[in-house]
Amino acid sequence: MSVREPLRIRKALLAGVVALALTGTGVAIAWSATDSPSPSPSESAPGKSDKAQRPQHLHSESVVKKADGTFETVLSQQGTVESVSETSVTVKSEDGFTQTYAVKAETKVIKFPAPAADGTPAKGDDGKRLKPTDATIAEIATGETVRVSGVKNGDTVTAKKVVEGAGTGPGLGLGKGLGKGHAKAHGHGRPSTK
């Protein structure tokens, strides 16, 4: 076998692969080897995902390192108010997770205005979108949907913020309603096991 013979075989193989690729046969073979076909562009158009299909944050527990070097366990939850009093609120998430939060004088309570009948944000007489208002825990009722953020100390979780109303929707993934401090915290989260 001469030195040129392996070179000819390589050239022939390369020409065959190029021919398969140009005719689309190679793509058809690769496609048929997969378990399922790729979605069509209309099914997976980027930026066109259905908001209802996006994952929603229900509850979490994270350990954060504060500026002074100490650590703090932070809880956040979205759910329905199961019970509420002047000193506590119990929230149950869609997956069944239930947590009771102590309510203190420093707990911030915020109410968003109810949306209009067509689901758009509520607007005032001037046509501007109504802003959330400060409220008290007495204004939160059983059955309402809320977002709560709190700090865990032993077995007690103290609510830092309770947000009721339109601010409890899926949002933009910016931690809407849970406070700026938690979004800037550094640490490592762990899924809740409760």
Per-residue pLDDT at 123? 86
Mean per-residue pLDDT, 106-130 = 87
**pTM metric for this prediction:** 0.59
Question: CB neighbours (10 Å) of residue 38?
Answer: 9
User: What pLDDT, in 10s, does the model give residues 32-89?
Assistant: 444 444 444 445 455 555 656 678 889 999 999 999 999 999 999 999 999 999 999 9
pLDDT confidence bin for 25, thresholds 50/70/90: low
The CA distance from 9 to 1, in Å, is 12
Per-residue pLDDT at 4? 65
Q: Which residue has the higher pLDDT, 23 or 116?
A: 116
Per-residue pLDDT at 89? 97
Per-residue pLDDT at 36? 45
**Is the predicted pLDDT of residue 23 greater than 80, yes or no?**
no
54-190 topology per CATH: OB fold (Dihydrolipoamide Acetyltransferase, E2P) (2.40.50)
The CA distance from 28 to 13, in Å, is 19
User: What pLDDT, in 10s, does the model give residues 98-109?
Assistant: 999 999 999 999
**Is the predicted pLDDT of residue 21 greater than 70, yes or no?**
no
Residue limits of CATH 2.40.50.320 in the chain: 54-190
Instruction: Let me know the angle formed at the C-alpha of 107 by 102 and 76, rounded to the nearest 5 degrees.
Output: 70
Per-residue pLDDT at 173? 41
β-strand partners of 102: 88, 158
User: What pLDDT, in 10s, does the model give residues 133-189?
Assistant: 999 999 999 999 999 999 999 999 999 999 998 555 544 344 444 444 444 444 445
Ramachandran category for residue 118: left, alpha or beta (phi over 0 → left; psi -120 to 50 → alpha): alpha
Q: What is the DSSP letter of 123?
A: B
Per-residue pLDDT at 117? 82
